[in-house]
């Protein structure tokens, strides 16, 4: 075939190969795809075949040909009309400019819309000749339109983030990637699946400029590239990923393939590293095909950050950071585990003769420490004072525009008023008001849905439906879709609201896009089939298994083909099939759900939910977890439970279970379990206990658990804080390195009048004699002298006459120092203990009971 001159012969051949390999999975969309390709020019054909050949099956199912063509046409426009796009290497252009998907977001026709917003900004700022300058400028635009806010795991699409002005880091980075790609700057999402030093993960972006990749915090503008609040944290990472949806890539360390995605390791740009090698042998001979899960202890569970397969020599290797890791090796149901310190070991040999298919019991708790890598400030970039001043001015201007945008959203007060004006009262008014407030820039859709009520009773039902949807649903739902569900849903009959509304009326099943599946599913089946499915929902599940095929190698695991599209294509993931089952049941008037703890597909019958999948039908047994100390147990914070199945531990989600009187009651399927307790130290290390137990008719029905005991010395850090400055009462600059030299210090950033600060001040007052006796300097940092009018602060200053008072605007220093010490920058007071000079040994933010006493013990230790 002849190819457009823009593309190499290699790409033409690869696109054709990819396309033909994917073609068997087009199902009911094949005619649409083939007919539309005939109307494409050569360049369009190459790009469309590349996309269809590399996209997950769920995307083939969910979206029309015309949507993907808008991405292709815009990318070709950029290739031709944007100066820097013409010099971008082909693989980078395809994967990081053309490609439509970034994360797990719903795909919408948005690239041209973002271009129309972003390109004029670059023209106005005279930033159209330098990719680096353009990237820095666009990140200010991103911040003007969206800021960070914690949300659920479903990834909102870029237009939703733009409309509603917020997102979690994965959504901010998807949003920023879309903005940058829209003007032809190659951009990719960078992700650390779990931090080793804290219970969290993070996503940001990298932009390709002038021959290399550089990082930026998404919607977190800086004056230079390769700088972000997470720089120090990233230097402690064990692995940092980028993701592509093809293997057409050059110059990258490919860690693994997950379905159609290619996972690349970008750690070298951020942290000290080494190549870590694993060899698996048995009786001296290499063992091939062993799955090697590289795991981190995080959220009190062992979480796989990468998965390797041993080759014909029994070997596998990966670039990792320098910290503790947990290796879980498994093959044919047999497994073994090993905790490894990669600071001292660059390789390990596993004797698979020690593997077994069952676990050893340990009801008293095996103890071990898990230590993260040390951070390394050699990767940090420091701004000049002039750059800091410029950044602050631009940041303040951008923040003002963001706040102006947010001012158009409903407040809690205006939402309450709007709900009452609709004639709602009581609980229904509360639900409607919350929906309007949660919806942000999508409140018009909420109001449209509410106003379409046919009666007062019907409006109450609509408010109740909105209440069972997620906060994120309210930001991107379509009133028309809800309207169709309401119109076509079965009557509640004898179902109570708590079953009928979330499990029959609601369109939400898992994390799929909300669509009108009732109409399509009602037309899909004969009356005889519908009758059979209603009488015995398991026949619906059997029909799905017989008629919908799966191919995990051509999927991206967390994506879901929506019910109607799944039926059209005939291919989908196991999760997509479970969503389809629930949708079929609800369409036919049978309440159904995915179990919130196990994610098993269930239907409601005779007052309870029943599992439909064969492997999840095991009878459960009561099991009690008993606290052996006074710990406040929080699931996924200091404990978790995992079920051993096929040689792998699968963590259960028991976060909704409540502790009462030092106990929590569980219902567990018979089998082997691992319970982990973890106590996170301020330096990031985890003190762990691992319990292993069996649930069976003749086994114990309870387990007593404890956290590890710790000493003060276990809590201390050793962090060099970058120089910063405060001000004295006359407004003169006070260099922190001079202020803190000569003796130990406790620095308090105080928010007078607020409850957390009031608590710590009261503890300082209570222990004032002990503080006055310390050979240490106490530094109170306030915004201005008005703070001294606060009664509690004034009392503390009276009883602590040697306190040094400094002043700060609480903008840059609080954020940078809190993040440097790995505490929450959004909580005050911020308290930092240092050795003489700027060496931080302890920090806390917010208020914890007994902190006043603890600070004294730390300085005395």
- At 30 the three-state DSSP class reads helix
| Beta strands at 274-282 and 347-351: parallel, antiparallel or unpaired | parallel
Instruction: With beta carbons less than 8 A apart as the criterion, state whether 657 and 673 touch.
Output: no
Q: Is the pLDDT of residue 116 over 90?
A: yes
What pLDDT score was predicted for residue 384?
86
Helix axes 412-421, 426-439, angle to 10 degrees: 130
What pLDDT score was predicted for residue 849?
80
Q: Is the pLDDT of residue 3 over 70?
A: no
Average pLDDT over residues 842-850: 88
- What residues contact residue 852 under an 8 Å CB cut-off, 6+ apart? 760, 763, 764, 766, 767
567-599: pLDDT as tens digits: 999 999 999 999 999 999 999 999 999 999 889
Cα 523 to Cα 519: distance, rounded to the nearest angstrom: 7
What pLDDT score was predicted for residue 38?
96
Average pLDDT over residues 8-31: 95
Instruction: With beta carbons less than 8 A apart as the criterion, state whether 204 and 235 touch.
Output: no
Average pLDDT over residues 188-217: 94
Cα 142 to Cα 483: distance, rounded to the nearest angstrom: 34
Mean pLDDT of the chain: 94
Q: Is the pLDDT of residue 236 over 90?
A: yes
- Burial of residue 535 (number of CB atoms within 10 Å: 0-12, 13-18, 19+): exposed
Instruction: With beta carbons less than 8 A apart as the criterion, state whether 332 and 297 touch.
Output: no
C-beta neighbour count of 358 within 10 angstroms: 12
Cα 620 to Cα 669: distance, rounded to the nearest angstrom: 4
What pLDDT score was predicted for residue 250?
86
DSSP-H helix ranges across 219-308: 231-234
Q: Is the pLDDT of residue 377 over 80?
A: no
| Residue 712 binned pLDDT confidence (cut-offs 50, 70, 90) | confident
User: Which of 225-238 are b and which e, b meaning 16 or more Cβ less than 10 Å from the residue's Cβ?
Assistant: bbbbbbbbbbbbbb
What pLDDT score was predicted for residue 614?
82
Instruction: With beta carbons less than 8 A apart as the criterion, state whether 686 and 677 touch.
Output: no
What pLDDT score was predicted for residue 807?
97
314-364: pLDDT as tens digits: 999 999 999 999 999 999 999 999 999 999 999 999 999 999 999 999 999
- At 266 the three-state DSSP class reads coil
| Residue 716 binned pLDDT confidence (cut-offs 50, 70, 90) | confident
- % of the chain at pLDDT higher than 90: 85
Q: Is the pLDDT of residue 79 over 70?
A: yes
Higher pLDDT, 259 or 279: 279
100-111: pLDDT as tens digits: 999 999 999 999
Average pLDDT over residues 50-72: 97
- C-alpha pair distances (Å), 136 with each of 129, 448, 849: 13, 39, 43
Q: Is the pLDDT of residue 368 over 50?
A: yes
User: Which of 566-605 are b and which e, b meaning 16 or more Cβ less than 10 Å from the residue's Cβ?
Assistant: bbbbbbbbebbbbbbbbbbbbbbbbbbbbeeebebbbbbe
- Count how many Cα atoms sit within 13 Å of the Cα of residue 576 in the half-sphere of its side chain: 31
Instruction: With beta carbons less than 8 A apart as the criterion, state whether 88 and 186 touch.
Output: yes
Q: Is the pLDDT of residue 213 over 90?
A: yes
Structure tokens that stand for 510 in this block: 């898992």
Q: Is the pLDDT of residue 4 over 50?
A: no
Cα 500 to Cα 314: distance, rounded to the nearest angstrom: 54
What pLDDT score was predicted for residue 616?
72
- At 294 the three-state DSSP class reads strand
- C-alpha pair distances (Å), 101 with each of 143, 185, 259: 21, 15, 15
Residue corresponding to tokens 């901010």: 172
Q: Is the pLDDT of residue 247 over 80?
A: yes
Phi, psi (degrees; rounded to nearest 5) at 679: -115, 110
Q: Is the pLDDT of residue 736 over 50?
A: yes
């Amino acid at each position: 075939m002849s190819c457009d001159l823009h593309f190499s012969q290699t790409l033409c051949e690869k696109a054709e190969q990819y396309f033909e390999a994917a073609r068997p999975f087009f199902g009911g969309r094949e005619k649409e795809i083939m007919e539309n390709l005939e109307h494409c020019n050569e360049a369009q054909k190459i790009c469309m075949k590349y996309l269809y050949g590399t996209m997950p099956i769920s995307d083939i199912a969910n979206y029309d040909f015309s949507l993907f063509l808008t991405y292709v046409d815009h990318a070709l426009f950029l290739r031709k009309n944007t100066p820097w796009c013409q010099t971008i290497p082909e693989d980078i252009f395809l994967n990081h400019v053309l490609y439509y998907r970034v994360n797990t977001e719903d795909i919408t026709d948005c690239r041209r819309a973002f271009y129309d917003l972003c390109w004029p900004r670059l023209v106005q700022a005279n930033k159209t000749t330098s990719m680096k300058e353009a990237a820095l400028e666009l990140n200010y635009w991103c911040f003007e339109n969206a800021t960070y806010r914690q949300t659920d795991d479903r990834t909102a699409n870029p237009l939703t983030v733009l409309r509603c002005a917020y997102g979690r880091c994965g959504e901010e980075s998807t949003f920023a990637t879309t903005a940058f790609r829209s003007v032809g700057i190659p951009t990719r999402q960078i992700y650390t699946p779990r931090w080793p030093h804290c219970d969290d993960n993070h996503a940001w972006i990298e932009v390709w400029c002038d021959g290399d990749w550089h990082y930026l915090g998404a919607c977190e503008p800086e004056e230079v590239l390769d700088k972000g609040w997470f720089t120090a944290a990233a230097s402690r990472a064990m692995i940092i990923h980028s993701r592509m949806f093809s293997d057409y890539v050059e110059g990258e360390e490919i860690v693994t393939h997950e379905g159609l995605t290619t996972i690349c390791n970008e750690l070298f740009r951020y942290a000290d590293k080494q190549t870590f090698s694993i060899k698996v042998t048995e009786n001296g001979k290499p063992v091939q095909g062993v799955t090697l899960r590289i795991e981190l202890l995080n959220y009190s569970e062992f979480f796989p950050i990468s998965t390797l397969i041993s080759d014909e020599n029994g070997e596998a290797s990966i670039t990792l950071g320098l910290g503790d890791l947990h290796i879980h090796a498994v093959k044919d149901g047999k497994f073994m585990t090993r905790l490894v310190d990669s600071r001292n070991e660059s390789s390990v040999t596993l004797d698979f003769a020690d593997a077994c298919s069952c676990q050893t019991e340990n009801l008293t708790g095996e103890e071990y420490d898990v230590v993260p890598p040390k951070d390394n400030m050699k990767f940090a970039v420091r701004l000049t004072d002039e750059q800091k001043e410029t950044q602050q001015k631009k940041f303040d201007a951008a923040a003002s525009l963001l706040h102006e945008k947010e001012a158009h959203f409903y407040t809690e007060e205006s939402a309450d008023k709007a709900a009452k004006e609709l004639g709602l009262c009581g609980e229904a008014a509360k639900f409607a008001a919350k929906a309007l407030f949660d919806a942000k820039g999508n409140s018009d859709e909420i109001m449209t849905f509410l106003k379409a009520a046919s009666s007062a009773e019907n409006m109450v039902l609509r408010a109740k439906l909105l209440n069972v949807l997620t906060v994120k649903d309210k930001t991107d739902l379509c009133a028309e879709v809800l309207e169709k569900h309401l119109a076509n849903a079965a009557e509640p009959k004898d179902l109570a609201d708590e079953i009928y509304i979330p499990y029959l009326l609601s369109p939400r099943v898992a994390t799929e896009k909300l669509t009108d599946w009732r109409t399509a599913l009602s037309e899909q089946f004969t009356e005889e089939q519908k009758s059979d499915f209603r009488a015995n929902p398991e026949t619906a599940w059997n029909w799905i298994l017989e008629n919908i095929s799966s191919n995990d190698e051509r999927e991206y695991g967390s994506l879901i083909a929506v019910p109607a599209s799944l039926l059209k294509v005939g291919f989908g993931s196991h999760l997509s099939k479970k969503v389809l089952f629930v949708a079929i049941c609800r369409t036919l008037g049978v309440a159904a759900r995915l179990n919130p703890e196990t994610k098993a597909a269930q239907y409601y019958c005779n007052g309870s939910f029943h599992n439909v999948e064969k492997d999840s039908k095991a009878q459960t047994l009561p099991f009690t977890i008993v606290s052996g100390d006074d710990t406040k147990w929080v699931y996924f914070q200091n404990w978790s439970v995992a079920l051993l199945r096929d040689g792998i531990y699968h963590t259960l989600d028991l976060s909704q279970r409540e502790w009462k009187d030092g106990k929590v009651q569980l219902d567990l399927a018979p089998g082997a379990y691992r319970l982990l307790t973890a106590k996170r130290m301020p330096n990031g290390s985890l003190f762990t206990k691992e319990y292993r137990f069996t649930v069976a008719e003749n086994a114990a029905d309870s387990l007593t658990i404890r956290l590890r005991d710790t000493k003060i010395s276990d809590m201390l850090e050793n962090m060099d804080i970058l120089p910063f400055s405060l001000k004295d009462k006359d407004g003169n600059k006070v260099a922190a390195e001079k202020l803190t030299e000569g003796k130990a210090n406790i620095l308090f950033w105080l928010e007078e009048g607020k409850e957390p600060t009031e608590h710590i001040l009261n503890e300082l007052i209570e222990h004032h004699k002990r503080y006055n006796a310390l050979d240490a300097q106490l530094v109170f940092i306030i915004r201005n002298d008005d703070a001294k009018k606060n009664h509690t602060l004034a009392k503390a200053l009276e009883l602590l006459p040697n306190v040094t008072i400094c002043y700060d605007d609480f903008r840059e220093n609080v954020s940078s120092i809190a993040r440097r010490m790995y505490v929450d920058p959004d909580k005050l007071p911020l308290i930092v203990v240092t050795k003489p000079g700027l060496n931080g040994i302890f920090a806390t933010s917010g208020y914890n009971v007994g902190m006043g006493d603890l600070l004294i013990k730390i300085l005395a230790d």
